[in-house]
Amino acid sequence: MKLTNTDLSLVALRNRDRSGRECDPQEVIAQMGRMNFLAVCGGKWAKINASDGVTIGLLMPCGESRAVEVVLNFLDLYEVRRVRLVNRGEAKGTLVVEHEVLDVYCENLGDAVYSASCWK
Protein backbone atom coordinates (compact mmCIF):
# COMPACT_ATOMS: atom_id res chain seq x y z
CA MET A 1 0.00 0.00 0.00
CA LYS A 2 1.14 3.54 -0.66
CA LEU A 3 2.14 5.86 2.19
CA THR A 4 0.54 9.31 2.33
CA ASN A 5 2.46 12.58 2.64
CA THR A 6 1.74 12.70 6.38
CA ASP A 7 3.08 9.15 6.74
CA LEU A 8 6.24 10.13 4.88
CA SER A 9 6.66 13.17 7.16
CA LEU A 10 6.50 10.88 10.19
CA VAL A 11 9.11 8.58 8.66
CA ALA A 12 11.46 11.46 7.90
CA LEU A 13 11.18 12.87 11.42
CA ARG A 14 11.64 9.49 13.12
CA ASN A 15 14.78 8.59 11.13
CA ARG A 16 16.88 11.32 12.74
CA ASP A 17 19.63 10.38 15.19
CA ARG A 18 18.34 6.88 15.89
CA SER A 19 20.23 3.92 17.30
CA GLY A 20 19.32 0.29 17.68
CA ARG A 21 20.17 -3.20 16.58
CA GLU A 22 19.81 -4.25 12.96
CA CYS A 23 16.68 -6.27 12.27
CA ASP A 24 14.62 -7.58 9.39
CA PRO A 25 11.20 -5.85 9.21
CA GLN A 26 9.57 -9.03 7.89
CA GLU A 27 10.79 -10.90 10.97
CA VAL A 28 9.36 -8.17 13.22
CA ILE A 29 6.01 -8.47 11.42
CA ALA A 30 6.07 -12.25 11.87
CA GLN A 31 6.85 -11.88 15.60
CA MET A 32 3.99 -9.45 16.18
CA GLY A 33 1.62 -11.61 14.12
CA ARG A 34 0.29 -10.83 10.66
CA MET A 35 -3.26 -10.22 11.91
CA ASN A 36 -2.07 -7.73 14.54
CA PHE A 37 0.03 -6.04 11.88
CA LEU A 38 -2.93 -5.75 9.50
CA ALA A 39 -5.23 -4.57 12.30
CA VAL A 40 -2.81 -1.76 13.23
CA CYS A 41 -1.83 -0.38 9.84
CA GLY A 42 -3.70 -2.20 7.09
CA GLY A 43 -0.42 -3.33 5.55
CA LYS A 44 1.25 0.09 5.24
CA TRP A 45 4.67 0.43 6.85
CA ALA A 46 8.09 2.01 6.43
CA LYS A 47 11.56 1.16 7.67
CA ILE A 48 13.17 3.06 10.53
CA ASN A 49 16.88 3.44 9.87
CA ALA A 50 19.67 4.19 12.32
CA SER A 51 22.10 7.04 11.76
CA ASP A 52 24.44 4.64 9.94
CA GLY A 53 21.71 3.49 7.55
CA VAL A 54 20.88 0.03 8.92
CA THR A 55 17.23 -0.90 9.47
CA ILE A 56 16.41 -1.02 13.19
CA GLY A 57 12.62 -1.22 13.11
CA LEU A 58 9.43 -0.23 11.37
CA LEU A 59 6.86 2.53 11.50
CA MET A 60 3.17 1.72 10.93
CA PRO A 61 0.69 4.54 10.35
CA CYS A 62 -2.43 3.94 12.45
CA GLY A 63 -4.55 7.04 12.10
CA GLU A 64 -4.50 10.66 11.16
CA SER A 65 -0.97 11.91 11.91
CA ARG A 66 -0.31 8.95 14.21
CA ALA A 67 1.94 5.95 13.86
CA VAL A 68 3.21 3.03 15.91
CA GLU A 69 6.93 2.40 15.77
CA VAL A 70 8.73 -0.77 16.76
CA VAL A 71 12.51 -0.60 17.28
CA LEU A 72 14.87 -3.40 18.29
CA ASN A 73 17.26 -2.15 20.97
CA PHE A 74 20.74 -3.43 21.78
CA LEU A 75 19.40 -5.79 24.48
CA ASP A 76 17.38 -7.75 21.86
CA LEU A 77 14.19 -6.28 23.31
CA TYR A 78 11.68 -4.13 21.49
CA GLU A 79 10.62 -0.54 22.12
CA VAL A 80 7.04 0.24 21.06
CA ARG A 81 5.80 3.83 20.76
CA ARG A 82 2.78 5.64 19.38
CA VAL A 83 3.83 9.00 17.99
CA ARG A 84 1.69 11.88 16.75
CA LEU A 85 2.67 14.64 14.37
CA VAL A 86 1.20 17.93 15.65
CA ASN A 87 -0.65 19.69 12.82
CA ARG A 88 -1.91 22.85 14.54
CA GLY A 89 -0.93 25.47 17.06
CA GLU A 90 2.44 26.58 18.34
CA ALA A 91 3.86 23.05 18.30
CA LYS A 92 3.02 22.44 14.63
CA GLY A 93 5.49 20.08 12.97
CA THR A 94 6.76 18.48 16.18
CA LEU A 95 6.36 14.87 17.27
CA VAL A 96 4.71 13.84 20.52
CA VAL A 97 5.17 10.38 22.02
CA GLU A 98 1.68 9.48 23.24
CA HIS A 99 2.33 5.91 24.37
CA GLU A 100 5.55 4.05 25.11
CA VAL A 101 6.39 0.52 26.22
CA LEU A 102 10.04 -0.41 26.65
CA ASP A 103 11.80 -3.78 26.94
CA VAL A 104 9.14 -5.90 25.22
CA TYR A 105 9.95 -9.57 24.61
CA CYS A 106 9.14 -10.95 21.17
CA GLU A 107 6.31 -13.15 22.50
CA ASN A 108 4.58 -10.02 23.89
CA LEU A 109 5.17 -7.83 20.85
CA GLY A 110 1.76 -8.36 19.25
CA ASP A 111 -0.12 -7.26 22.38
CA ALA A 112 2.15 -4.25 22.90
CA VAL A 113 1.78 -3.07 19.29
CA TYR A 114 -1.99 -3.51 19.24
CA SER A 115 -2.50 -1.67 22.55
CA ALA A 116 -0.25 1.15 21.33
CA SER A 117 -2.43 1.56 18.24
CA CYS A 118 -5.58 2.18 20.33
CA TRP A 119 -6.38 5.59 21.80
CA LYS A 120 -9.40 7.65 22.83
Write the single-letter amino acid at 22. Answer: E
Q: Domain range for residue 43?
A: 5-116
Tens-digit pLDDT profile for residues 36-81? 999 999 999 999 988 888 999 999 998 888 999 999 999 999 999 9
Asked if residue 104 has pLDDT above 70, the reply is yes
Please give the tally of structural domains in the chain. Answer: 1
Question: In the sheet where 46-49 sits, what is the strand order?
Answer: 46-49, 55-63, 66-72, 78-85, 95-104
The 3-state DSSP class for residue 82 equals strand
- For the chain, strand residue ranges (E) read 46-49, 55-63, 66-72, 78-85, 95-104
